Amino acid sequence: MAFLLARRKEDLMILAADLDLTFEASFTKLKLKELIVKSPDYVEDDVKKMLDGIVEERTKGEEKADKEKIRKEEKEERMQKEEREYELEKLRIQAQRIANIPNSAENVQTPNKPIHETFRKFNMQEDISLNLTLFERHAELTFLPKKDWVQKLIGLIPIEIAHLIAREPADKCNDYDHVKDLLLQRFKLSPEKFRQLFLFHQKDDEKTWQDFQHELQTYFDGWTLGLKVSTYDQLRELIIADQMKKKAPYDLQEHFWTSGLLLIHQLN
């Protein structure tokens, strides 16, 4: 019976519960041991096996929790490292920009280092507005002159989209604002697709939390602005309608976006 006192109090409490014994959390190990030994179901070999199983299960749970804790700490450390690297890259680019400011005839002829080579290729499986927003953010961060944005953009998009831009009039195909409007009109997602992206978007391990926040903002804006939501009352109506959609009959779910009040009348 000494084996009982060699175990943790929480193990003895679980054992007592498995034996359908009544006890209190304030019981000491000695009192729990006496309670277990006096149980009508007490058979030392059987109880020993039960206790070994309880300890084994607890140990596995602790090992799993430790591994999960280490995994979370490593992930958090990796994300913090990415954030630091992002800030350092911003400082490096800014310092490089200052260093490249021409102050003599000699350094005017000195080309800048290729700081624009890290632009992200467009992923056409994502929303075009998100691709454009990330492109603009990077272009501003790297001090790329806006007159060069279209030229840089051409190298980041599929060839068929580049051909679409090339067919524009000569005075328009190098105008970034015009090209942006063209791409948004041609490839922009529907408000419903934006809603789904906003609700179910997950953060990629390779991206920073700032990127994740920016993506969510883009999806939310695409959802609400696509439905011409411009006031608090309209936003409230939209969110309420979205919640009601989840509970409404399937044949009404596609009629939710024009008016939350219309939905209520339909359901009534």
Residue 218 falls inside a structural domain: no
Q: Are both 96 and 167 inside the same structural domain?
A: no
The radius of gyration of the chain's CA atoms, rounded to the nearest angstrom, is 32
Residue 181 falls inside a structural domain: yes
Residue 150 falls inside a structural domain: yes
Domain boundary among 47, 70, 101: 101
Query: How many whole angstroms from its chain centre is CA 60?
Result: 30
Domain boundary among 45, 68, 101: 101
Distance CA 255, CA 268 (A): 14
Give me the number of domains the chain comprises. Answer: 2
Comparing C-alpha atoms, which of 211, 152, 218 is closest to residue 179? 152
Residue 55 falls inside a structural domain: yes
Distance CA 148, CA 124 (A): 22
Q: Are both 157 and 75 inside the same structural domain?
A: no
Q: Are both 84 and 132 inside the same structural domain?
A: no
pLDDT score of 177: 92
Q: What angle do CA 11, 40, 26 make, to 5 degrees?
A: 40
Identity (one letter) of the amino acid at 112? N
Q: Are both 134 and 82 inside the same structural domain?
A: no
pLDDT score of 120: 74
Q: Are both 29 and 90 inside the same structural domain?
A: yes
Question: 50-63 burial, b if ≥16 CB within 10 A, otherwise e?
Answer: bbeebeeeeeeeee
Q: Are both 50 and 120 inside the same structural domain?
A: no
Instruction: List the domain range (segments joined by +) for residue 151.
Output: 115-187
If the chain, 268 residues long, is cut into consecutive pieces of 10 residues, what is the mean pLDDT of each piece? 84 89 89 88 87 89 88 81 68 55 41 54 75 86 88 85 83 88 80 78 80 81 81 85 71 52 46
Residue 44 falls inside a structural domain: yes
Q: State if pTM tops 0.85.
A: no
Residue 195 falls inside a structural domain: no
Residue 142 falls inside a structural domain: yes
Q: Which residues contact 252 (CB under 8 A, 6 or more apart)?
A: 263, 266, 267
Q: Are both 76 and 127 inside the same structural domain?
A: no
Residue 198 falls inside a structural domain: no
pLDDT score of 165: 85
